[in-house]
Chains A and B, each alone.
Chain A
Amino acid sequence: EKEVKTRPGRWTGGQADSSSQGAAFPPTFSLSEVKNKQRRHLMFMKLKQEKRKQKMQLKKKRRKEREALGDKAPPKEVPKTIENQRVYDETTVDPEDEEVAFDEGTDEFSAYFNRLTNPKVLITTSDRPRGRTVRFCEQLATVIPDAHVYYRRGLALKRIIPQCVARGFTYLMVINEDRKVPNGMVLCHLPDGPTAHFKVSSVRLRKEMKRRGKDPTMHSPEVILNNFSTRLGHTIGRLFAALFPHDPQFVGRQVATFHNQRDFVFFRFHRYIFKNEKKVGIQELGPRFTLKLRSLQKGTFDSKFGEYEWVLKRHEMDACRRKFQL
């Protein structure tokens, strides 16, 4: 009789291998070395399942321990967020800092905060604005009381500014447009105040808002400024605050919010109603947009010879994810 030699054929060999693979891997084996895509995929899925199982087991164990300990259990760990891990900024303002208080009492906004001037805003655009920008300006003018929109007839800002000062304006706001969409804002405090240049993004006009309310009325809104913690943040916060009249009319129940989160300033305009002392309902009216500060210049608008207090330097400032300026 013939001797049937059972030579390990391709398939059997493979199976033998797979059975042995479960047991012994060379220590430097990595999943990416397997050339066969299907098998690699399978192995990876198995690995993931294993990991998930271990994680669930760990979680269960921890939960059991926590229940067993009851009151003596260690407090729950707070998850790390970017706000938690924020690099401490040395210019963070301490609420009781006298130097800061003194500075703020004598800076360019002190006239407003001492109730000597009332805000009057001039809103304009860059050359030849398109419909979206024009509508945005109009809506801004309804949000900010005592705001006037003027068409920019190719005039130079340096020429406009003395005329504005002569007519008693306190703010000049220029919305810059690119490709039919507003994308920049220059906010200049007029008598001789700082000029801030922002990048504007995510502009939503009134008719694009869902579940919005009726148009804002002529009452002065309240202002909420959140999370402006550093010196620079304080300056910008005061810049925004001085846009609105001192005394909000609570009858109108309108509130304008400038919320700073990770150097993005979100602007929202709401109407609120107190249902009871624990609940308040808010309804968004008005445009919404996001601002990111690009530069802050001392003095009125002068891009060539102006003195810049702060300029966004991307390579320095965006290198660390946990470092913020405002």
Chain B
Amino acid sequence: MRFTPQVLIFGARCHVHLLSGTCFQQLILVCVCVCVCVCVCVSPQVIWDIIGNKQFCSFKVKTKSQNFCRNEFNLTGLCNRSACPLANSQYATIREEKGQCFLYMKVIERAAFPAKMWEKVKLSKNYEKALEQIDENLIYWPRFIRHKCKQRFTKITQYLIRMRKLVLKRQRKLVPLSRKVERREKRKEEKALIAAQLDNAIEKELLERLKQGTYGDIYNFPVHAFDKALEQQDEESESESEAEEEEEEDDEDVGRREFVAEDEVEESDLSDFEESSEEEEEEEEEMEVETKAKAKAKAKASGSKGKSPAGGSAARRKRAYVEIEYEQETQPAAKSTAT
């Protein structure tokens, strides 16, 4: 091991009494560790001797084939004698901050002032101009450092260009899923499925479409459906008209609860009792007229709703026709008296 005379003297002067009995190497190490930041007299060669191969360097990353340097000021990223920023008193790097490139330079004159050790020069955005700037700042510097600086700068500009291009292309966005939320939604979905009763809903919808006739004449059995629908409607209208008749009778004459069918019987009776029955006839006929009108109106209304097709309305009219038959017997009389 070659020791520079300064170190020896320093060690001999200051530390002998502290480290009496320890070996010489440890003494030197302590000196170097204490002095490397403060004392200018430690040469880079010594530093490299220590951290390069023999002792610990906190920036060194060792792999099977190669050593890397994690120091942010390192020019190449490898752990070499020529590329180590600690072991070279004159050093330069290119670093990039938010898309802007800077040239950092370190000279031996400023080694005593760690705060001002690195000189930062902003490089122009133009590639050629920046290269010229590097050249002009690093004029008379070792070839290796100049070359490596330019290489590093080129690489940096290339990756900046690629970053800008990528932003314009597709960007994949990762959306985090919350487990709780997913579990809750799954449960809600299950419950909704049960509540939906899909099969029933679909069947109901299809049957409704069949009833409404969207399928046209494809299926044969709809006739029965229409007949059934007819019958249902007849029953409904019958009950409706009866209810209305009852209401009318209640409104007009409390005593009168006579239905159309019964009038025949009374008409025959009326022929016996002419005087008193005439009034009754009139009123009855009025009622009949009104009820007939109502029935007709209802038939028309139901016909116009279009619920029952043409066949249905024919049956409707058939029914009304039956009523008219009765009334026609007495109508000539009614016309003369009622109006």
Interface residues of A (CB under 8 A from B): 81-83, 154, 156-157, 201-202, 222, 224, 226, 250, 255, 257, 259, 261-264, 266, 268, 270, 272, 274, 276-278, 280, 282, 290, 292, 303, 314
Contacts and interface: CB of A to CB of B under 8 A. Distances in A.
Given A201-B186, A264-B189, A277 B196 contact: no
A156 B196 contact: no
Given A156-B169, A224-B202, 4 more contacts: A270-B202, A272-B206, A282-B206, A303-B173
A280 B203 contact: yes
A259 B196 contact: yes
Interface in B91-150: none
Contact of B193 (A226, A261, A314): A261
A282 B195 contact: no
Contacts of A282: 199, 202-203, 206
A259 B189 contact: no
Interface of B: 169-170, 173, 181, 185-186, 188-189, 191-193, 195-196, 198-199, 201-203, 205-207, 209-211, 215-216, 218-219, 221-222, 224-225, 228
A278 B222 CA distance: 10
9 contacts: A81-B195, A222-B209, A224-B205, A259-B196, A261-B196, A264-B193, A276-B221, A277-B219, A282-B202
Contact of B189 (A83, A277, A290, A314): A290
A297 B52 CA distance: 61
B189 A202 contact: yes
Could you tell me the dominant secondary structure of chain B's interface residues?
helix
Given A280-B203, A280-B206, A83 B195 contact: yes
Contacts of A81: 195
B188 A277 contact: no
A270 B201 CA distance: 13
B195 A156 contact: no
B189 A250 contact: no
Nearest to B211: A277
Given A82-B195, A250-B215, A277-B210, A255 B222 contact: no
A11 B188 CA distance: 52
Given A277-B224, A277-B225, A257 B188 contact: no
A159 B17 CA distance: 79
Contacts of B188: 262, 264
B218 A250 contact: yes
Contacts of A278: 207
Nearest to B168: A156
Contacts of B198: 257, 259, 266, 268
Most buried by B among A257, A261, A276: A261
Most buried by B among A262, A277, A282, A290: A277
Given A272-B206, A274-B210, A278-B207, A292 B185 contact: yes
Contacts of A222: 209
Given A268-B198, A277-B224, A277-B225, A262 B206 contact: no
A266 B193 contact: yes
A226 B205 CA distance: 9
A292 to B, nearest CB: 7
Contacts of B206: 224, 255, 272, 274, 280, 282
B225 A261 contact: no
A266 B194 CA distance: 11
A282 B203 CA distance: 7
Contact of B201 (A201, A226, A262, A314): A226
A181 to B, nearest CB: 13
Nearest to B182: A201
A286 B170 CA distance: 33
A247 to B, nearest CB: 11
Contacts of B207: 277-278, 280
A249 to B, nearest CB: 11
Nearest to A321: B188
A222 B216 CA distance: 14
B201 A259 contact: yes
A268 B202 contact: yes
B105 to A, nearest CB: 42
B30 to A, nearest CB: 58
A29 B209 CA distance: 62
A162 B198 CA distance: 38
B181 A314 contact: yes
Contacts of A202: 189
Given A259-B196, A266-B196, A268-B198, A277 B221 contact: yes
B262 to A, nearest CB: 29
Contacts of A250: 215-216, 218
A276 B222 CA distance: 8
B181 A277 contact: no
Nearest to A263: B192
Nearest to B181: A314
A264 B192 contact: yes
A172 B239 CA distance: 56
A314 B185 CA distance: 11
Contacts of B195: 81-83, 261-262
Given A156-B169, A250-B215, A259-B196, A277 B205 contact: no
Nearest to B206: A280
B202 A255 contact: yes
A261 B33 CA distance: 75
A314 B170 CA distance: 27
B197 to A, nearest CB: 9
Nearest to B184: A318
Contacts of A156: 169-170
A241 to B, nearest CB: 14
A272 B201 CA distance: 13
Contacts of B211: 277
A314 B225 CA distance: 48
